[in-house]
Every structure is written in structure tokens, then in C-alpha cells.
Amino acid sequence: MATRHSKAARLFQKNREKAEWQDNTLWGVRVKRDRMAKSLDEWETLRDMASAIKKHTVTNLDVYLEQFAENAEKNGIIVHWAKDAEEFNETVLDILRSHDVRKLVKSKSMLTEECEMNPYLEKNGIKVVETDLGERIIQLLDQKPSHIVMPAIHLTQEEVGALFEKELGSEKGNSDPAYLTYCARKSLRDEFLTADAGLTGANFGVAQTGEIVICTNEGNADMSTSVPKLHIAAMGIEKVIPDYRSLAVFHRLLARSATGQPSTTFTSHFRGPRPGGEMHIILVDNGRSRMLGDDLHWETLKCIRCGACMNTCPVYRRSGGYSYTYFIPGPVGVNLGMLRDGKKYHDNVSACSLCCSCDNVCPAKVNLSEQIYAWRQQLRDFGKEPMSKKVMSGGMKFIFDRPGLYNAAIGCSPLINAAASAAGYAGLGLWGKGRDLPEFAKESFHTMWKKGKVKNDK
Amino acid sequence: MTSKQNILSEIRKHGRQPIEMPSFETLSPVRYEDCLEQFVVTARQVGGRVALLEEGTDINALIRSFYPEASVIASSLPFVEAALDPDTVADARELNGTDVGVVKGEVAVAENGCVWVPQTMKERAVLFISECLVIIVDRKDIVNNMHEAYSRIDNPGYGCFISGPSKTADIAQALVMGAQAARDVLYVIV
């Protein structure tokens, strides 16, 4: 099964030093997460509750969305609804044009990545400046995030140093992270002060109070919305939660799961426009309502985008975010990609060893690996069952259905010992890559039993 | 059909059997013997500094002792000596260049070092644009955990839980204080 993922993973592994650094670094984040989880006796109860609250909310999604929108409007927020990416992008552009916005500062939003908003706005003459440091770095490199929480995890400090030297005029050869962060801070300050509007995502939308909540460590979502007067928030419809009681549960899980911090530095609650300002929320469906109807996979909608499944995943850590063909990598990305378009993103289902580690760290208890297993069983529905597997399982069925032939085949198996080494087994088939064939016994158990060679010594 | 109607009808079409909201009774969240002591520990862990204001000490003197070089202090609190007032500046940009912003927090959380700062000033930029931020907290307002915090707060339009200085690890996962907002946070407990 040489999927596009496995081919890309092999390329990633060619730079052994970088691959090892990423593996160790992400595992370090997982260890920090564990420390946080173990410091709370109620951790598992919190996970159970988060899962149950999400199940409750997405199975009552129409009710909560209407409540959210109604309360947000009462708070003076202008609420828009966008059924797909196209309508979302057009809505953003309309709002920006009606305010003569030329420069937009924005904080991290996976939804805007999903809708490819930045290129759309740039094409229409709006300058877009990412303000999360990691996002800014990859924007300057014209790259995509390789991790949803640590978007520039694939870059070394030397690479960032070289970039800043060229783009921000930093000192030649200085790749000290503190120095580079300071250079970005200075440059972004100018952008905040001269921007005409700020755009953010939303980690949560609280139905009862009609407000959105955004979690950042840098404070960039707040800088983006406390200087310009116009604030636009992009929110996927599955982000709505019932109330503050629920929010407390998710708040306690999110940063601990994501980075091993007890909280993000800033948890910002926007319940209306600034004095003299204007606030818009765009609620985006873009396929989510359809995903809700998928009996096997609807629970993926419980995801709160913490990225813990990536940090723990042995395949993600060793293959990097760019080896996946969907813009969200790792276990949850495999699932979201398949929900988006199974025909297009089926390559990623091979990126799983079924170790189930992701299921055990997910704060909302999304059964990620079980779902990946289910997607593999469904590959045939997309016409994407790998040919080699089809031939293999077809052949096995033929043999297992015929006991005579089976016995004859087993009788011949010792021959494989010689044949395999002669043919160079590892080079023959994909299964053989990275695996050694066990040596076949000279006599089968079946024959030994018949000859009375199997004795019970007790 | 509007997009709103379209989305809601799609949700209803694909909708699932509603599942009940779970009970919160099974949850017994962390509590501490001494919330103040725990808050001080956590606030330092998240990169903040903590000062206890002794009775009879002047808060302005205390702020000066922590930031002797500060030339521009911004605050809308009546008892703080400040050059800039976020309530009276014409535009948020005027607050750029603030060395120390001084604000009041309403609820502090022992488990994670968060302090709830609602927008009581006209320009909330003071919370983020200042190089250093001083948050004044009453020791009576320290709670155990986020459940208690969320049951106590009210949001006047904007409010933020702040847990230490702005930080990032986006370059090679090296932790750096002072990404976009305040590089230093001092909690003054009164």
C-alpha cells in the first residue's frame, strides 16, 4: 500500500536529524500533557463530561445554534450564516469592502484555512497579515501549517533566522528564538496599529450568553481586535456549546491537552462590539451538517482542535504534517479528510498503526483510531481498496476454502525459507519492506500432531 | 431560502436522536486547603510575578518598586498615579508605548493562575499593548477552580482570563515570554 502518505513519510525520514527532533519534541509535549492530566483526580470524569456535552450539543445543534444567534444579536453582534466556503469568503469580503478595509490582521483559524480565505481576499486586493507567530512565519514562507497548534513545528530556528533576515531585516546569522520573537513582535506591532479590521476564529460559542471564546498564548487575537474597530469572527457550527458550566469543562481540558499548560495565557470572551466598534460572527456549515448524518463517523464533530492526537501519534511524529494530503494532519485530520471527501483524501487512512493512543488522550473522547479502522473497511465504497490487498485476500479465501490445497501449501512452506532469502524478500513486496519473514518450521503442527510428536509433558 | 434556513434544515434532515445533557453531580473538581498559597504557586509557574500588598503600604510605591524605569503608566483606576487613562484616550493607538498598564481583576483561579479582567475601561488595548501589566486582585476573590470562576463572573461585553505574560514557543519550541502582548505580568494581591 504505497499511499501518498507513506511515500511522503519516506521523504520526511530522509532528514534523520530533523525527523528525530520532531519525534522527540512532540513526545515532550505529550509528556507535559500527561503531567497535567495526572495532577487532577477528576481528569477522566472531565473527559467523559466533555464527550457527553458535545454529544448532547451536536444532537441538538439546530436548537443551540438558534439560541446562540438570537443571544448574540441581542448583544449587538451581527450574525451571518454561510452554507459553504464560497459563501463564507464572499461574506467576509462584503463586510471588508463595506468598511473600506485594505489591511486585515488575523489570528489563527483552521476554518479560514479550510475555506482558503487568505488567497481569496488577497486576490481581491485585501492585504492579510497572520499574527500568530507560527502562522506569520509560514505565511512569509508561503507554506501551510504542519500542525494545528504548532504550525511551524517543521522549521528549525536557523530556517526562521534566515527568513527574518530577509523579510524583517533581523541580524545576520542570529537565530536565537528570543531575539527572533522580539523582531516579529516589533514588526507585528506596526501591523496591529495600521490594520483596518481584525479577524479571529472561535474556540467556543456559548449559546446561553451569545458570546464567543478564543484561547491564545500570544494575545494576538486580542491585539487584532482591540486596536481596529471592526471584528469579524469565523465559527464552525459545531463550536457551539450550551453554557458557562460546559465552558468550564472544556477550558480545563483544552490547554492541558494541547500543550500541557493549566490554561492558555488568554481566554478571551467577546460578547459584543467594542465601544464605537462593530462585531460580526459568521456561522459556517461547509459540510458539517452532512457529517452529522454519518452513522459511523459523526462523533468526529466532538473534536475541540487541541492537537493532542498529533503529539501522541507514532505515525504523525515520524512522518510530519506535510505527509498527509488533507490540511489537518494526524489522527483527527485523517478522519476529517475522509468526512470531507473520501475519494480525494483516502491516502491518509494508511497513516495509522491502530495503537489507539489518540483515543486515550483525546479530551472529548473521539474514538479516532476506531474510526480510521472503520474507514479502511469502507475504502471499497470509494473504489479505493488497494489492488494488492484485494488480490491477497481473494487468494487467501480461495485457499482457506479448500482444505486439501491448504495442507499441500503448508507442506511446501519450508521451501519458502530458501526461496525468500534467494529472492530478497524485503524487496519483493510492500509488506516485506521493513519486516523480516519468520522462518517456517520444517514440519507443520498438523503433521507433528498426527505423528504423535506433540506431547503433553505435564 | 436564506442560508440560515438552509443550514438549519440540513441539520434537521441529518439530525440524530437527541442525547441528554450529562449531570454535573459526578464531577468533584479540585479544591485546595489554601487557595491563596496555591494561586501564588500556579501564577509563578505560568511566568507571572506575585506581590502581596501589606496593610498601610501605598500601591503606587509598590508598582514603582517593581518598575523603577517605567515612564508611562496607563490606568483608569482612580487610586493609581498614571499618565494615560484608557477611558479618556481618543483612540486605542494612543496607548501604544505604555510601559506599565494597571487594571483590576475580579476573580482569581488557584488551579491555573487565571485572573478574570472584564472590560471596565473604554479601550481594552491597555491589557495587551502595555509592555508590562499589573493586575490587582483581592485575596477574598481567589477561587479553587474554573467551575467556581465561571459561576461567579459576568461579562459586560468583553472579558479575559489572563494567566501570566504573553508567551510563544513557535520558534523551535523554545519558550519565550512577550510574544505580542505584555512581557511581564505582576499580580498584586491586596
Of B14, B29, B42, the CB nearest to A292: B14
Find chain A residues with C-beta within 8 A of B145's C-beta: 248, 252
Range of the domain at B67: 29-189
Beta-carbon separation of A262 and B155 below 8 A? no
The grid coordinates of residue A382 equal: 470509494
The secondary structure of A326-374 as a DSSP string is: SSS-HHHHHHHHHHHHHHHHGGGGGS-----HHHHH-TT---HHHHHHH
Of B16, B161, B180, the CB nearest to A292: B16
For residue A401, pLDDT over 90 is answered with: no
* 3-class DSSP string for B102-149: EEECCEEECCCCCEEEECCCCCCCHHHHCCEEEEEECHHHEECCHHHH
- Note whether B79 contacts A: Cβ–Cβ < 8 A: no
Stretch A442-448: mean pLDDT, rounded? Answer: 84
Q: Does the complex come out with an ipTM higher than 0.90? A: yes
For residue A282, pLDDT over 70 is answered with: yes
d(CA B108, CA B90): 31
Q: Is residue B52 part of a domain?
A: yes
For residue A425, pLDDT over 50 is answered with: no
Q: Which pLDDT tens digit goes with each residue over A347-385?
A: 999 999 999 999 999 999 999 999 999 999 999 888 777
Q: Mapping DSSP to helix (H, G, I), strand (E, B) and coil, where does residue A133 land?
A: helix
> Structurally, how many domains does chain B consist of?
1
For residue A247, pLDDT over 70 is answered with: yes
Of A156, A237, A273, the CB nearest to B172: A156
pLDDT value, residue A287: 97
For residue A393, pLDDT over 80 is answered with: no
pLDDT value, residue A415: 66
Q: CATH number of the domain at B91, please.
A: 3.40.50.10420
d(CA A279, CA A211): 11
CATH number for the domain running over A1-39+293-384: 1.10.1060
Helices (H), A15-156: 16-38, 43-58, 61-74, 85-98, 110-114, 117-123, 133-140
Beta-carbon separation of B24 and A245 below 8 A? yes
Q: Which pLDDT tens digit goes with each residue over A293-344?
A: 999 999 999 999 999 999 999 999 999 999 999 999 999 999 999 999 999 9
Q: Is residue B9 part of a domain?
A: no
For residue A428, pLDDT over 50 is answered with: no
Find chain A residues with C-beta within 8 A of B166's C-beta: 217-219, 265-266
- Note whether B2 contacts A: Cβ–Cβ < 8 A: yes
Question: What value does the mean pLDDT of chain A take?
Answer: 92
C-alpha angle B20-A245-B144 in degrees, rounded to nearest 5:
140
Is there a contact between A211 and A269 (Cβ–Cβ < 8 Å)? yes
For residue A435, pLDDT over 80 is answered with: no
Q: Which amino acid is at A387?
A: M
Beta-carbon separation of B18 and A81 below 8 A? no
**CATH 3.40.50.10420 location in chain A:** 40-287
C-alpha angle B25-B26-B30 in degrees, rounded to nearest 5:
95
Task: Decide which of A72 and A391 is more confident.
Answer: A72
Q: Which pLDDT tens digit goes with each residue over A2-34?
A: 899 999 999 999 999 999 999 999 999 999 999
Task: Please name the helix (run of DSSP H) or strand (run of DSSP E) that holds residue A180, with its range, or none.
Answer: helix A177-194
Beta-carbon separation of A248 and B166 below 8 A? no
d(CA A244, CA A264): 17
d(CA A24, CA A254): 22
Q: Which residues contact A384 (CB under 8 A, 6 or more apart)?
A: A342, A343, A346
Q: Which residues contact A154 (CB under 8 A, 6 or more apart)?
A: A18, A22, A146, A147, A320, A321, A322
d(CA A449, CA A249): 60
Beta-carbon separation of A181 and B21 below 8 A? no
Give the residue from B154, B180, B183, B187 with the most A CB atoms within 10 Å of its CB, the best one to mutate.
Answer: B180
For residue A431, pLDDT over 70 is answered with: no
Q: Which pLDDT tens digit goes with each residue over A93-151?
A: 999 999 999 999 999 999 999 999 999 999 999 999 999 999 999 999 999 999 999 99
**Which of 5-24 (B) contact A at CB < 8 A?**
6-8, 10-22, 24
Beta-carbon separation of B166 and A178 below 8 A? no
Q: Which amino acid is at A452?
A: G
* Of the candidates A134, A140, A87, the residue with the CA atom closest to the CA atom of residue A111: A87
Q: β-pairing, B73-75 with A127-130?
A: unpaired
For residue A205, pLDDT over 80 is answered with: yes
pLDDT value, residue A396: 72
Q: How confident is the model at residue A451 (pLDDT cuts 50, 70, 90)?
A: confident
Fold (topology level) of A40-287: Rossmann fold (3.40.50)
Strand partners, A82: A284
Q: Is residue B3 part of a domain?
A: no
Q: Which pLDDT tens digit goes with each residue over A39-95?
A: 999 999 999 999 999 999 999 999 999 999 999 999 999 999 999 999 999 999 999
C-alpha angle B174-B177-B178 in degrees, rounded to nearest 5:
125
Find chain B residues with C-beta within 8 A of A244's C-beta: 150-151, 153
Q: Is residue B122 part of a domain?
A: yes
Q: Is residue B23 part of a domain?
A: no
Cite the beta strand spans of A203-324 per DSSP E: 204-206, 211-216, 230-236, 240-241, 266-270, 278-284
For A263, which residue in chain B has the nearest alpha carbon? B112
Q: Which pLDDT tens digit goes with each residue over A149-185?
A: 999 999 999 999 999 999 999 999 999 999 999 999 9
**CATH 1.10.1060 location in chain A:** 1-39+293-384
In percent, the amount of chain A with pLDDT more than 90 equals 82
10-residue mean pLDDT profile of chain B (190 residues): values are 96 95 96 98 98 94 97 98 97 97 98 98 98 98 98 97 98 96 98
For residue A421, pLDDT over 90 is answered with: no
For residue A403, pLDDT over 80 is answered with: no
**Which of 41-60 (B) contact A at CB < 8 A?**
42, 45-46
- Note whether B181 contacts A: Cβ–Cβ < 8 A: yes
Q: How confident is the model at residue A427 (pLDDT cuts 50, 70, 90)?
A: very low
Find chain A residues with C-beta within 8 A of B155's C-beta: 209, 211, 269, 271
CA distance B56 to chain A (A): 32
For A28, which residue in chain B has the nearest alpha carbon? B173
Beta-carbon separation of B178 and A271 below 8 A? no
Stretch A434-443: mean pLDDT, rounded? Answer: 72
Of A49, A155, A248, the CB nearest to B146: A248
